[in-house]
A and B are shown apart, each in its own frame.
Chain A
Amino acid sequence: MNRRHTLLLLGAAALFAATQPVASYAQTSGEPIRVGEVNSYTGLPAFTIPYRQGWQLAVEEVNGAGGLLGGRKLEVVSRDDAGKPDDAVRVAQEMVSNEKVALLAGTYFSHVGLAVADFAARNKVPFVAAEPLTDAITWTKGNRYTFRLRPSTYMQAAMLVEEAAKLPAKRWATVAPNYEYGQSAVSWFKQLLQEKRPDVEFVAEQWPVQGKLEAGPTVQALAAAKPDAIFNVTFGADLAKFVREGDGRGLFRNRPVVSLLTGEPEYLEPMKDEAPEGWIVTGYPWDQIDTPEHKAFRDAYQARFKEPPRQGSVVGYTTFKAIAAAIDKAGSTDPEKIVDALSGLQVTSPFGPVTFRALDHQATMGAYVGKTTVKDGRGTMKDWHYADGAKYLPSDEAVAKLRAE
Chain B
Amino acid sequence: MSFYLVQFLSGLATAATLFLVSSGLTIVFGVTRIVNFAHGSFYMLGAYIGWSLIERWGTTPMGFWGGVALASLAVGLLGALMEVGLLRRLYRSPELFQLLATFGVVLIVQDVASAAWGAEDLLGRRAPGLKGSVDILDQPFPLYDLVLIGLGPVVLGLLWLLFNRTRWGTLVRAATQDREMASALGVDPARLFTGVLFLGSALAGLGGALQVPREAVTLHMDMAIVVEAFVVVVVGGMGSLTGAFVASLLIGQLQAFGILIFPQITLVLVFLFMAVVLVLRPYGLLGRAEDAPPTAASTGPPLVLASGLGRWAPALLLAALALVPLVAGDYTLIVLTEVIILALVAASLHLLIGLGGLVSFGHAAYFGLGAYGAALAVKHLAAPMPLALAAAPLLAGAGALLAGWFCVRRSGLYFAMLTLAFAQIAWSVVFQWYGVTGGDNGILGVWPPGWASGKAAYYWLTLALAGGTLLLLRRAAFAPFGYTLRAGRDSALRAEAVGIDVRRHQWLAFALAGASAGLAGGLYAFSKGSVFPTLMAVPVSVDALVMVLMGGIQTLSGPVVGAAVFHLLETQAMSLTDWWRLGLGLVIVLLVLVFPKGIAGFARDLWLRRVDR
Contacts and interface: CB of A to CB of B under 8 A. Distances in A.
B253 to A, nearest CB: 10
Contact of B6 (A8, A46, A220): A220
Interface stretch (A244-252, A288-296, A359-367): A244-252
B14 interface: yes
Interface in B129-164: 132-133, 139-142, 145
A249 B578 contact: no
B524 interface: yes
B440 A94 contact: no
A395 interface: no
Contacts of B444: 114-115, 117-118, 141
B133 A90 contact: no
Contact of A214 (B3, B256, B329, B579): B256
Interface stretch (A55-63, A80-88, A321-329, A332-340): A80-88
B174 to A, nearest CB: 38
A249 to B, nearest CB: 5
Interface string B92-135: 00000000000000000001001111111111001000001100
A49 interface: yes
A94 B334 contact: yes
A178 B264 contact: yes
A171 interface: no
Interface in A272-329: 272, 274
Contacts of B579: 15
A65 interface: no
Contact of B439 (A45, A82, A179, A244): A179
Given A217-B11, A248-B133, A4 B116 contact: yes
B207 to A, nearest CB: 15
Contacts of B440: 110-111, 179-180
B59 interface: no
A228 interface: no
Contact of B220 (A86, A211, A220): A211
A275 B255 CA distance: 27
B140 to A, nearest CB: 5
Given A97-B330, A122-B529, A220-B7, A245 B575 contact: no
Contact of B216 (A44, A87, A217, A241): A241
A270 B216 contact: yes
Nearest to A85: B532
A44 B577 CA distance: 15
Contact of A89 (B14, B441, B530, B571): B530
A392 interface: no
Given A178-B267, A241-B216, A248-B133, A270 B7 contact: no
A128 B533 CA distance: 24
A214 B255 contact: yes
Interface stretch (A21-29, A192-200, A201-209, A349-357): A201-209
A172 to B, nearest CB: 15
A218 interface: yes
Contact of B141 (A8, A205, A237, A249): A249
A56 to B, nearest CB: 14
B441 A42 contact: no
B12 to A, nearest CB: 10
Interface in B234-293: 255-257, 259-260, 263-264, 266-267
Interface in B34-51: none
Given A178-B267, A217-B255, A90 B335 contact: yes
Given A46-B120, A111-B442, A220-B10, A248 B140 contact: yes
Nearest to A12: B115
Interface in B402-453: 431-432, 439-442, 444-445, 447
A119 to B, nearest CB: 6
A3 interface: yes
A248 B132 contact: yes
A334 B214 CA distance: 54
Nearest to B253: A217
Contacts of B329: 97-98
B121 A237 contact: yes
A331 interface: no
B459 interface: no
Contact of B266 (A134, A207, A272, A274): A207
A220 B579 CA distance: 41
A364 B117 CA distance: 36
Contact of B575 (A85, A91, A111, A122): A91
A33 interface: no
A51 to B, nearest CB: 12
Nearest to B338: A90
Given A114-B442, A178-B267, A180-B440, A237 B215 contact: yes
Contact of B442 (A85, A241, A245): A85
Interface in B323-374: 329-331, 334-335, 338
Interface in B189-225: 214-216, 218-220, 224
A234 to B, nearest CB: 12
A241 B441 contact: no
Range of interface residues on B (Cβ < 8 Å): 35 or more
B215 A216 contact: no
Contacts of B338: 90
Given A178-B267, A216-B145, A237-B216, A211 B140 contact: no
Given A94-B334, A245-B142, A214 B14 contact: yes
Interface in B516-542: 524, 528-530, 532, 534-535
Contacts of B120: 7, 46, 269-270
Contacts of B218: 211, 236-237
B125 to A, nearest CB: 10
A180 B257 CA distance: 24
A82 B259 contact: no
A244 to B, nearest CB: 7
B581 interface: yes
B70 interface: no
B123 A271 contact: yes
Contacts of A119: 529-530
A341 B532 CA distance: 32
A175 to B, nearest CB: 9
Among B3, B218, B439, the one with the most A-chain Cβ atoms within 10 Å of its Cβ is B218
Contacts of A42: 111, 114, 578, 580-581
A400 interface: no
B574 interface: yes
A122 to B, nearest CB: 6
Contacts of A271: 123
B121 A240 contact: yes
B13 interface: yes
A166 interface: no
Among B132, B267, B530, the one with the most A-chain Cβ atoms within 10 Å of its Cβ is B530
B118 A19 contact: no
Contact of A93 (B111, B145, B331, B445): B331
A82 B441 CA distance: 17
Contacts of B445: 118
A202 to B, nearest CB: 12
Contacts of B578: 11, 14-15, 18, 41-42, 80
A224 interface: yes
Contacts of A114: 441-442, 444, 530
Contacts of A240: 121, 123, 215-216
B123 A207 contact: no
Interface of B: 3, 6-7, 10-11, 13-14, 111, 114-123, 126, 132-133, 139-142, 145, 214-216, 218-220, 224, 255-257, 259-260, 263-264, 266-267, 329-331, 334-335, 338, 431-432, 439-442, 444-445, 447, 524, 528-530, 532, 534-535, 571, 574-581
Interface of A: 3-4, 7-8, 11, 14-15, 18-19, 41-42, 44-46, 49, 79-80, 82, 84-87, 89-91, 93-94, 97-98, 110-111, 114-115, 117-119, 122, 134, 136, 141, 178-180, 205-209, 211-212, 214-218, 220-221, 224, 236-237, 240-241, 244-245, 248-250, 269-272, 274
